[in-house]
Amino acid sequence: MYKKLDDWIYVAQKTEMDAVEEMCVVIKKAIEEEVKIQHELRIKFMDFTVDDATLNYVNPPRPKLEALEEYREDRFSIPQLRTFLTEFETITSTVGDNMQVVELASIFFTKVKNSAHFGGYDTTLPEQWNKLTMPSILSIIRNLDPNNSGYVNWRTLFTYLILLKSEIP
């Protein structure tokens, strides 16, 4: 009887050690290949299993690609809009969303003059805007002030700049 118990303990111990050995092989392979072990590894008494249904971590989503856009002379590019947005937010951080029409026109006209002299893809205006004069810029901005209050919401103007030359849905 004791001989059978000893044999049974020996077989159980050997089977458990084999299960641990199998798990070590899987872990060693993952370490050598420098890959993460995604599926759950389980040792239950004498059984070693790899559970494909349970994931230890979720695969991260692929990084988003940068927006591709065509260069057009009559439309603001994304870098130009980002730069312009930063400038507007800096200027209006103390004033608020409404700006004087003359002030907005002078900002645009200064950008037109700087675009002609200094260039730079991010800080310039579209090519067709560089041909505008101060009176034409004023008339464009005054169209956003139907009540003739002398103030224009720069966010509205910025929305129109983004949608400029967009196709109608």
Assign domain 78-163 to its CATH architecture.
Orthogonal Bundle (1.10)
What percent of the chain shows pLDDT beyond 90?
1
Q: What is the pTM of this model?
A: 0.52
Region 75-79 average pLDDT: 82
**Residues 112-139: pLDDT tens digits?**
888 767 766 666 778 787 888 889 988 8
Over the chain, what is the mean pLDDT? 81
Structure tokens at 153: 């919401």
pLDDT for 27-73, tens place per residue? 898 899 988 887 777 777 777 777 777 777 667 788 887 767 777 77
Domain ranges within the chain, ordered by starting residue:
2-55, 78-163
The pLDDT, as a whole number, for residue 32 is 92
pLDDT for 121: 64
CA angle, residues 157, 163, 164, in degrees to nearest 5: 85
